[in-house]
Amino acid sequence: IHAELTPNLFLLMAFSHQFILGILGNGFLGLINCIHWIKRSKISLSDFIIMNLAFSRIFLQCVIIFDATLLVLYSDFYYGVTISQIRETSWTLSNYLSIWLTTCLSVFYCLKIAIFSHHAFLWLKRRIYQVIASILLGSVLFFSFNTVLQIRKFDIYSGLLKMRLITNYTENLIRKERELYVSHLLDLLLLLIPFITSLFSCLLLILSMRRHTRMMRHYVTAPRDLSTKAHVRATIVMFSFLLLFVFHFVILFIGTAMTFLAYAKLIMVIELATPVYPSVHTFILILQNKNLKQAFLRLLQLKKGCRKGGVKGSFPC
């Protein structure tokens, strides 16, 4: 028993450390934007998206730690129909919110920072609020479609469990398992839509940055720093999201296969990599934003001061 318990506890501790890191990063991101909103009595569109993105990722981190705890400590109940419905619904909602809000941020950066003279781009640029609202509305429609798929998937899963109690492998059982696997793949394919949108936005921003850099070579005296730095920061945020999203998608794909095959040990290892995307990208957002970075550094300095005060008694914390 101890031999089986030790690796499980190690995995749970690793999940807990990632959970704390993700909660701290996203909590800081959401809290700072909330404070600025209260102080100024208004908030910019980018800050509003980032604030909601942080809260959606806190929700996602909570779902991941709940799933991991259930898998490690209560593996017998993990594949139950009711628990599976709660897990799948919570995961789908939190994951969709996080990914679509990041897509909104990518489109916002592209329209706000990129410089093109094409009529279609200028038309979208003037209607940036309507564009973001349309993307959010589209995400709601996709989520509604995904909810229908989830209901269908729960029916298949429930029928599959009943069939497994009766027999081992029959033609109907194999067909049900195939239907369940296809429904899992459809869930993942729906995530390609926000990915392609973000990819297109990132490519446009990179193209704009190249054109802007060439133009600045001919006009050296022009104030190039602000625009170029804005291009670079936005590109880093968007490109890092694309890389992390690819990693996240691969992990989800492998995790889907493992869940389908019911390999609990491998599912634990795969789930250990799941919080990487919502945690790492959050810290990239913080470090690439001047105000957030300064606030984060002040917080770290305050923490160091409190530690020194705890030892020497010079700082009242």
Q: Domain boundaries in the chain? A: 2-289
pLDDT, position 225: 54
Answer yes or no: is pLDDT of 127 > 50: yes
- In CATH, the number for domain 2-289 is 1.20.1070.10
pLDDT in tens, 146-192: 888 877 777 777 776 666 666 655 667 677 777 777 777 787 888 88
Cα torsion angle, 13, 17, 22, 24, sign: positive
Answer yes or no: is pLDDT of 30 > 70: yes
pLDDT in tens, 84-95: 788 888 888 888
